[in-house]
Amino acid sequence: MDHLLLLLLLWSSGISERNQSSAEPDEVRLVGKASHCGGTLEIKHVREWTPVDFYNWTLKKAAVVCEHLDCGSAVSVQERKSPRRLVWSFRPDCFQSGSKLGDCLRLLPSTTMLNLTCLDSVRLLNSSSLCSGGLQVKSNQRWSSVCEADFDLQDAEVVCRELGCGPPSLLRGALYGEAEAPVWSREFQCGGHESALLDCRSSGSARSSCSPGKAAGLTCSEPVRLVGGASRCAGTLEVKHLGEWRPVDDNGWTMKPAAVVCEHLDCGSAVSVGLIFKSYGSVWRINPDCVQSGSPLRECAISWSSSSILDLTCSDSVRLLNGSSLCSGGLQVKSNQRWSSVCEADFDLQDAEVVCRELGCGPPSLLRGALYGEAEAPVWSREFQCGGHESALLDCRSSGSARSSCSPG
């Protein structure tokens, strides 16, 4: 967890150093909406409730607040305009060890406040993303796990949409742990177009536990895409949040975070990170460190306005695995949506020249069997016969080699 979040939690649970000097525990709340799980975020300090500045808030930070309030999953972070007033602002530089919590929050004048919305009826637990995990639903103030048998793909579509994620990509029992008691005792019967799981029809299933391995575990796809390029693996990077696809601005992005995006889209290696200058207005600003730490793009996004946006190219059909850089590794090629390893005997230096060029690297410097691990099945069953000047490996001539595995090494 990020230091800021940890501090916020300590602050809100009253065990901060600051509580020595104030009589009441400090607190956190959401106000102004019918439910206590949505509204303007306020933090109490020395008997005064004060809103928090919108600046630099991500869904990842909001998730900690929602969880702390037992409000399920974070679904939105919004800017609330207000006349200029004093609000809490978090200092970016105060989270080193030894800094006092009180030093992290300061009152500064601002014209924006933070609105948070948590989804108080459905959540996915035990994963590193808000878009995947073990399913739980809340009713009568109590969270219940759901058994696989009571939840199908149409139900999953509703949950993924409700959470603001992409469509479901995997639905499997116990993928994120076993069901905890209590267990939901109805079978969901969604049509798929409902806007909330608890709006779906359901019928009694009289279950009181799920058998081992049968807790509903769901993975929704992350709402990330590349648009306007030659394939789905190249173009302007866009992220959907609050129902809106927006481009991502340049914020010191290098090939490393780009590689995370390419891999996430199952698009091979990152080949280039470019910029497009245009008047865009609203974009997402995404901290590359947040992406490299393994957080989904959507959870790292801050609303921003900018006129330079990211354009990424991934290699699409070729990748190098297990290497220490984007220019080395065990070779794999993709066809029919499937990655295959390649045997040394089917690949020579001229073929390597094409791959290195395709990946935007310099000429090949070493080509040797099993340098980066053994081949994983499936294995590519053609011998590449590149002339060396083709622009992509899959454009080269090839002949059948009828191999179904590479011998060791």
Ligand X SMILES: *[C@@H]1O[C@H](CO)[C@@H](O)[C@H](O)[C@H]1NC(C)=O
Q: For the CB of residue 240, give the shortest distance to ligand X in the complex, in Å.
A: 18
Residue number, 88 or 176, with CB nearest to ligand X: 176
> Residues interacting with ligand X, by CB under 6 A?
2, 4, 14-15, 19-20, 25, 31-33, 39-40, 56, 78, 80, 92, 115, 125-126, 134, 136, 145, 176-180, 215, 321-322, 330, 332, 341, 372-374, 376
Rg of the chain over Cα atoms, rounded to whole angstroms, equals 25
Give bridge partners of residue 320 from the DSSP assignment.
331
Residue number, 8 or 239, with CB nearest to ligand X: 8
State CA 201 to chain mean position distance: 30
Q: For the CB of residue 83, give the shortest distance to ligand X in the complex, in Å.
A: 14
Give backbone dihedrals phi and psi of 171, rounded to 5 degrees, phi first: -140, 110
CB 286 within 8 A of CB 254: no
Residue number, 76 or 229, with CB nearest to ligand X: 76
Residue number, 79 or 152, with CB nearest to ligand X: 79
Give backbone dihedrals phi and psi of 101, rounded to 5 degrees, phi first: -55, -45
Residue number, 81 or 84, with CB nearest to ligand X: 81
Cβ–Cβ contacts within 10 Å for residue 105, how many? 21
Cβ–Cβ contacts within 10 Å for residue 330, how many? 19
Q: For the CB of residue 2, give the shortest distance to ligand X in the complex, in Å.
A: 5
Task: Give the long-range contacts of residues 224-228, CB within 8 A, separation 24 or more.
Answer: 224/166, 224/261, 224/264, 224/265, 224/296, 224/297, 224/298, 225/265, 226/261, 226/265, 226/267, 226/312, 226/314
CB 81 within 8 A of CB 114: no
Q: For the CB of residue 373, give the shortest distance to ligand X in the complex, in Å.
A: 3
Q: For the CB of residue 272, give the shortest distance to ligand X in the complex, in Å.
A: 23
Residue number, 311 or 351, with CB nearest to ligand X: 351
Residue number, 98 or 408, with CB nearest to ligand X: 408
Residue number, 161 or 380, with CB nearest to ligand X: 380
Q: How many residues does the chain have?
A: 409
How many angstroms separate the CA atoms of 353 and 389, rounded? Answer: 8
Beta-carbon contacts of 157 under 8 Å, excluding residues fewer than 6 positions away, are: 167, 168, 190, 192
Q: Which tokens hold the place of 119?
A: 């989804």
Give bridge partners of residue 149 from the DSSP assignment.
none
Beta-carbon contacts of 380 under 8 Å, excluding residues fewer than 6 positions away, are: 333, 340, 341, 342, 343, 346, 403
Residue number, 6 or 227, with CB nearest to ligand X: 6
- Nearest residue by C-beta to ligand X? 32
Q: For the CB of residue 228, give the shortest distance to ligand X in the complex, in Å.
A: 29
Angle formed at CA 385 by CA 381 and CA 387, multiple of 5 degrees: 155
Task: Give the long-range contacts of residues 273-276, CB within 8 A, separation 24 or more.
Answer: 273/310, 273/311, 273/312, 274/310, 274/311, 274/312, 274/313, 275/250, 275/308, 275/309, 275/310, 275/311, 276/236, 276/308, 276/309, 276/310, 276/311
Residue number, 229 or 292, with CB nearest to ligand X: 292
Q: For the CB of residue 280, give the shortest distance to ligand X in the complex, in Å.
A: 21
How many angstroms separate the CA atoms of 343 and 125, rounded? Answer: 41
